[in-house]
Amino acid sequence: MGRINRKNLVLLFLGVLVLALLINLPNTSSIYMVRVLNMTMITYLAVLSLYVVFGMAGQSSFAQCGLMGIGAYITANVSTRWGYPPILGMAASMLGTALFAFIIGFALFRLRRFYFSFSTIALMTILNGIFANWTKGTGGPVGMGNLVQFSVGNFIFNTEAKYYYLILGFSIAASIIIWKLFRSPLGRSFMAVRDNETAASCMGVNILLTKNIAFAISGLLCGLAGSLFAFLSGYISATSFALPQSQLYLVVIMIGGSSSPIGALIGSILINLLPEWLRFLKDYMMLIYGVGIMGLMIVLPEGLVGGGKDLYAKLIKWKRSRADAEQGL
């Protein structure tokens, strides 16, 4: 635990305030808005998975949405088709997706830098092809509908608000775990690999295994996100897990800033809520959205968090120079 000083107290106070606000949110919002918030948090989980593999380990993956799809289809098969308890389906999704990512990682991480990115584009397209055509396992082009609701024992999650608390709980838990990871030796080795592979391997970091573990952790998160998506929407099809969606996750993390998990949060909120606020633009919305991404990258190439840090540093410098000037007088 950190020392109790003024800064920590303010942070604690803010944290409690935000938590109270988040818990009260479903009571004050419409059902539609709660659905939007649920989707935002699922996006956040997916983007957080990208943060592990891209922000920490420096490997830009275009396959996150495909991994999410694997998670969703495992949940649908285990819980609905075979009738096991939903919580088992969720666990199977997380472990199965992580395992898939770990195994496929041994092949893909033999490739470096943007060659790896290309291979993930290929992986994404292959997965999408399988989702869309494998009628026995994924329902083929029709998709899978009438999925069971999530339940623990006799408690069934059958309203948007109940799902809100469920997903909120998972999001907070995932954020804490990733934050711990960020500070852990494993997280440090991810970042060492990102910054300089040669130097990292000289320090005794096993590069292939480290990247694989990062990909497996991101697979775990994707599996969770996909599973929650399947329970929440009750219907999944291949169109939900396509390459453009994966590209969007990369855009989200770059807009937020890939240097910290907060960037993932800000990016997901922006990308999901902005379309709601800009609804009056109607047909022009997506156009402005695309142009906005370009504009934001031009103004803030480091993302919102990076840009904010820059601004803060400049402010401090400006204050200091002012103070120096006054002392000089």
Note the residues at the interface with another protein (CB under 8 A): 60, 107-108, 110-112, 114-115, 118-119, 121-123, 125-126, 129-130, 132-133, 196-199, 243-244, 247, 250-251, 254-255, 258, 283-284, 286-287, 289-294, 297-298, 301-302
Tell the residue number behind the tokens 């991480």, with chain if given.
109
Note whether 104 and 123 are within 8 A (CB).
yes
Q: Which is nearer to another protein, 9 or 126 (CB)?
A: 126
Q: Looking at the DSSP assignment, which residues form a beta bridge with residue 236?
A: 144
Minimum Å gap between C-beta 184 and another protein is: 25
State which residue, 110 or 180, has the beta carbon closest to another protein. 110
- Closer of 38 and 128 to another protein (Cβ): 128
Contact 64, 130 (CB under 8 A): no
With beta carbons less than 8 A apart as the criterion, state whether 53 and 215 touch.
yes
Least distance to another protein from the beta carbon of 68, Å? 18
CB of 23 or CB of 288, closer to another protein:
288
For residue 277, the minimal CB distance to another protein (Å) is 18
State which residue, 29 or 259, has the beta carbon closest to another protein: 259
Query: In the bound complex, what is the minimum distance in angstroms from residue 309's beta carbon to another protein?
Result: 15
- CB-nearer residue toward another protein: 46 or 147: 46
**DSSP bridge partners of 156:** 151
Q: How far is the CB of 100 from another protein (least distance, A)?
A: 14
- Residue 145 C-beta: closest distance to another protein, Å: 21
Nearest distance, CB of residue 241 and another protein, angstroms = 14
Question: Which C-beta is closer to another protein: that of 32 or that of 115?
Answer: 115
